[in-house]
């Protein structure tokens, strides 16, 4: 769904009842030929009843900015899919329902779209004002850390450490991971990721940052993952500014780990 400024002005004038008879007739003729526009206008008009007159009196006081914001919410995939499904049900229902039932039916389903759009709009508003602590809670996901395949006694050791990590026994896991590092002749980027996250969860941020910095400067295939986990470490410390600097470095290369999430987080972070 995409409207230009003149269409937004028409929508606002129509739902605010500011059109003269000729303008209204011309606009309603346009609605008959444009299902997408008609669905959106009907939803705008129903918001007053759906949401609450005192909270969002869009039917009588809608501004162009409010309508644009609602249209942005409509572009969300979940709302868009719901809207398309409802219009399909509408087309099928129109073949069998009486005029009175059609009106009632259309009000109910347009209200459903309105509710979905409003919820999406408020979700976007919330997501665009995340604090560093909220962002950490929202974006950290340790289940995406790599798993270890047991092929030797040493790998069995890190697999045991990984299991302890899943049980949130971070100190015990850290001890085993560090023992593995001491006994190994090669640099294992995945083990260092776990060590860094263990330090992070134990709130030893200095060691966490040093561990991720060592990963970043290593000559390994996934050294770019260090940017994301370094940013998470700063977020856990409620340090949004430092996190933003690291995220800005991450998004310089689209091939970097969690590139899209980093772009999204930069937009949402206070």
Per-domain boundaries in the chain: 5-127, 135-268
169 and 162 Cβ atoms separated by less than 8 Å: no
Q: Is the pLDDT of residue 91 over 80?
A: no
Residue 234: phi and psi, rounded to 5, are -65, -40
Segment among 9-13, 49-53, 115-119 with least mean pLDDT: 49-53
Q: Is the pLDDT of residue 103 over 80?
A: no
CA 198, CA 20: separation in Å to the nearest integer?
67
Residue 130, beta-bridge partner list: 269
What tokens were used for 235?
A: 């977020």
CA neighbor of 3 nearest in space, from 11, 45, 113: 11
Q: List alpha helices for 140-224, DSSP H.
A: 153-166, 170-183, 189-201, 205-216
With 0.95 as the threshold, say if the pTM is over it. Answer: no
Q: 236-245 in b/e burial notation, b at 16+ Cβ within 10 A?
A: bbeebebbbe
Mean pLDDT of 69-75: 59
Residue-wise pLDDT for 177-231, tens only, equals 999 999 888 899 999 999 999 999 999 999 999 999 999 999 999 999 999 999 9
Going through the chain in order, the beta strands assigned E by DSSP cover none
Q: What is the pLDDT of residue 88?
A: 61
Residue 254: phi and psi, rounded to 5, are -60, -20
Q: What is the pLDDT of residue 63?
A: 60
Q: What is the pLDDT of residue 56?
A: 40
Q: How confident is the model at residue 8 (pLDDT cuts 50, 70, 90)?
A: confident
CA 174, CA 110: separation in Å to the nearest integer?
55
Residue-wise pLDDT for 119-170, tens only, equals 555 444 444 568 999 999 989 999 999 988 766 666 788 999 999 999 999 9
Distance of CA 112 to the CA centre of its chain: 22
The overall average pLDDT reported for the chain is 78
CA 147, CA 176: separation in Å to the nearest integer?
15
Q: What is the pLDDT of residue 57?
A: 38
Q: What is the pLDDT of residue 49?
A: 44
Q: Is the pLDDT of residue 261 over 70?
A: yes
What Å distances lie between residue 224 and 35, 206, 212, 246, CA to CA? 47, 19, 10, 11
What tokens were used for 120?
A: 């999406």
Q: What is the pLDDT of residue 32?
A: 87
CA 200, CA 178: separation in Å to the nearest integer?
15
Mean pLDDT of 95-111: 50
135-268 adopts what CATH topology? 1.25.40
């Amino acid at each position: 769904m995409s409207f230009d400024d003149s269409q937004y002005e028409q929508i606002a004038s129509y739902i605010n009842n500011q059109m003269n008879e000729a303008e209204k007739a011309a606009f309603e003729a346009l609605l008959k030929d444009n299902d997408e526009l008609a669905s959106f206008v009907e939803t705008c008009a129903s918001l007053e009843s759906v949401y609450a007159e005192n909270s969002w009196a869009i039917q009588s006081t809608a501004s162009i900015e409010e309508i644009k914001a609602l249209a942005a919410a409509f572009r969300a995939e979940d709302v868009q899919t719901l809207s398309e499904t409802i219009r399909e049900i509408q087309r099928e229902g129109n073949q069998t329902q009486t005029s009175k039932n059609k009106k009632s039916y259309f009000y109910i389903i347009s209200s459903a779209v309105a509710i979905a759009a409003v919820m999406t709009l408020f979700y976007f508003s919330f997501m665009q004002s995340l604090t560093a602590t909220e962002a950490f809670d929202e974006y950290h996901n340790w289940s995406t850390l790599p798993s270890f395949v047991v092929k030797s006694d040493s790998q069995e050791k890190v697999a045991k450490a990984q299991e302890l990590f899943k049980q949130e026994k971070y100190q015990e896991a850290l001890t085993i991971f560090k023992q593995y590092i001491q006994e190994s002749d090669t640099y294992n980027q995945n083990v260092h990721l776990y060590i860094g996250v263990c330090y992070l969860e134990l709130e030893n941020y200095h060691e966490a940052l040093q561990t991720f910095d060592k990963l970043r400067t290593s000559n390994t295939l996934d050294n770019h993952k260090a940017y994301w986990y370094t940013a998470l470490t700063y977020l856990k410390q409620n340090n949004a500014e430092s996190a933003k600097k690291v995220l800005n470095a991450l998004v310089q290369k689209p091939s970097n780990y969690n590139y899209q999430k980093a772009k999204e987080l930069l937009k949402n972070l206070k």
